[in-house]
Amino acid sequence: MSAPIRFTAPDDGRLIGLYVPASFDAFDSYYPNDGRRAYLTEFDLPLQIVRTQGSPGDAGSKHVHLPQEPSRGWPTCHKVMVCLSGAVRVEVSDFDGVAAGTAELRPGDALLCVEGHEAVYLEDGSRLLEIRQGPYPGNVSDDRIILA
């Protein structure tokens, strides 16, 4: 296991950088301690780094993320998904849950999600790096709306 390395300012200890090695696998050491997701940054930061992993068939509900504060007129939080290993199918939808298309992510592929999305893990060892708008409210129910 390789842990993230925090770079902090010498004067007051504020975070000024975070290195997450490709070999990171300490999913149970980070919130929400479910073995599938690891929120690696403080919840109040404007950008969040989250690592996810899944097995074939693992899926979340179709959802859209809501900002805690309006961001330049956008009603949703944006997310970039980068596939690190395996394969993940992501359905992209609008705010009402109407599908716009599907992307199958393979290692090195990236997807920007502006509104709704649902990820399904297709292979053992599938992992994503997610970079999301923050701040994160601290619990899933305040972070998203489930879409039909």
For 40-60, b/e burial (b = at least 16 CB within 10 A) is bbeeeeeebbbbbbbeeeeeb
pLDDT at 85: 97
pLDDT at 1: 57
pLDDT tens profile 38-54:
999 998 898 999 999 99
Q: In this structure, are residues 50 and 133 in contact, taking their beta carbons and an 8 Å threshold? A: no
pLDDT tens profile 54-104:
999 999 889 888 877 766 777 888 999 999 999 999 999 998 999 999 999
Fold of 36-146: Jelly Rolls (2.60.120)
Q: What's the rounded Cα separation, in Å, for the pair 26 and 96?
A: 35
Average pLDDT, integer, range 134-148: 79
Task: Parse the chain into domains and list their residue ranges.
Answer: 36-146
- Among the residue ranges 18-22, 25-29, 53-57, 73-77, the one predicted with the least confidence is 73-77
Mind giving me the DSSP string for 13-32?
A: --EEEEE--TT---GGGSTT
